[in-house]
Structure 1
Amino acid sequence: MLGFSVYLNESLTNERIAQMKAMRNAGFEGVFTSMHIPEDDASCYVPRLKELGTVCRQLGLTLTADVSANGLKRISIDINNIQQLTALGLTALRVDDGLNPAQIAQLSRQLPVALNASTISASDVAKLHECDANFQHLEAWHNYYPRPATGLDYEWYQSKNNWLKQQGFTTMAFVAGDEELRGPVFAGLPTLEGDRYRHPLASTLNLLGKLATDKVYIGDIALSRAALEQFRLYFQHNILQLSIQTSMASLYQDIWHNRPDVARDVIRLVEGRQKIKTMPPMQTRKRPVGTITVDNSRYGRYMGELEILKQSLSADPRVNVVGQVVTTDLSLLALIGSNQAVQFIRKDEKQ
Structure 2
Amino acid sequence: MKQLGISIYPEYGFKEKDYDYMTKASELGFSRIFMCFLSVNPDHLEQAKTTYKEYIEFAHNLGFEVALDTNEIVFKELGAKITDLSVFKEMGVDILRLDVGFGMFGDMMIVKNTSGIKVEFNASFNSGMSLLLENGVPKERILACHNFYPQKHTGLSFESFVNRTNELVSQNISVGAFVSSNNENTFGPWKNIESGLPTLEMHRGLPIDAQARHLVSLGNIDTIIIGNAYATDEELKSLSDINFENSSIRIDYDRELDSNEAKILFVDNHFIRPDSSDYLYRSLTSKMVAKNMSIKPCVSDRAFFQRGDVLIINDNLKRYAGEVQIVTDTIPNEGYQNFVGSIPKNEMMILNEIKAGSSVTFLR
Q: Deviations over 1:191-248 (max 9, x none)?
A: 33344355222332244x2xx4454433333555556445444447768464653312
Aligned to 1:349: none
Q: Is the 8 A contact 1:8 1:49 kept in 2?
A: yes
Within a 5 Å distance, the mapping from 1:114-263 to structure 2 comes to 114-120=120-126, 126=131, 133-164=137-168, 168=171, 170-180=173-183, 182=187, 184-197=192-205, 199-207=210-218, 209=219, 212-221=220-229, 228-229=236-237, 231-235=239-243, 240=248, 242=250, 244-245=252-253, 246-248=255-257, 250=259, 255-256=266-267, 257-262=269-274, 263=276
Within a 5 Å distance, the mapping from 1:79-118 to structure 2 comes to 81-97=84-100, 99=102, 101-110=104-113, 111-118=117-124
Q: How many angstroms does 1:66 deviate by? A: 0.9
Q: How many angstroms does 1:29 deviate by? A: 2.7
User: Is residue 2:264 matched to residue 1:282?
Assistant: no
Aligned to 2:311: 293
In the superposition, relative to structure 1, how do residues 200 and 51 fare at CA in structure 2: closer, same or farther (>3 Å)? farther
Choose which of 70, 73, 76 in structure 2 pairs with 1:67: 70
In the superposition, relative to structure 1, how do residues 326 and 119 fare at CA in structure 2: closer, same or farther (>3 Å)? closer
User: Which runs of 5 or more structure 2 residues have no equivalent in the other structure?
Assistant: none
Code of the aligned partner of 1:332: I
Rounded to whole Å, the distance in 2 between the matches of 1:310 and 1:224 is 35
Choose which of 305, 309, 319 in structure 1 pairs with 2:337: 319
Q: Is the 8 A contact 2:152 2:201 kept in 1?
A: yes
Query: Which of 60-69 and 270-279 deviates more?
Result: 270-279
Q: Normalising to structure 1: TM-score of the pair?
A: 0.75
Code of the aligned partner of 1:217: I
Q: Is the 8 A contact 2:179 2:227 kept in 1?
A: yes
Q: How many angstroms does 1:106 deviate by? A: 3.0
Choose which of 277, 282, 290 in structure 2 pairs with 1:273: 290
In the superposition, relative to structure 1, how do residues 214 and 318 fare at CA in structure 2: closer, same or farther (>3 Å)? closer
Rounded to whole Å, the distance in 2 between the matches of 1:279 and 1:271 is 18
Rounded to whole Å, the distance in 2 between the matches of 1:63 and 1:201 is 20
User: Which runs of 5 or more structure 1 residues have no equivalent in the other structure?
Assistant: 346-351
Aligned to 2:32: 30
- Classify the secondary structure of the residue corresponding to 1:70: helix
Q: Is the 8 A contact 1:273 1:302 kept in 2?
A: no
Q: Is the 8 A contact 2:249 2:350 kept in 1?
A: no
In the superposition, relative to structure 1, how do residues 53 and 237 fare at CA in structure 2: closer, same or farther (>3 Å)? same
Code of the aligned partner of 2:150: P
Q: How many angstroms does 1:319 deviate by? A: 2.1
Rounded to whole Å, the distance in 2 between the matches of 1:154 and 1:325 is 20
Rounded to whole Å, the distance in 1 between the matches of 2:181 and 2:329 is 25
Matched pairs, number:
338
Aligned to 2:58: 55
Rounded to whole Å, the distance in 2 between the matches of 1:59 and 1:205 is 25
- Classify the secondary structure of the residue corresponding to 1:200: helix
- Classify the secondary structure of the residue corresponding to 2:140: coil
Code of the aligned partner of 2:141: H
Rounded to whole Å, the distance in 2 between the matches of 1:117 and 1:217 is 14
Rounded to whole Å, the distance in 1 between the matches of 2:288 and 2:246 is 17
In the superposition, relative to structure 1, how do residues 342 and 153 fare at CA in structure 2: closer, same or farther (>3 Å)? closer
Q: Normalising to structure 2: TM-score of the pair?
A: 0.73
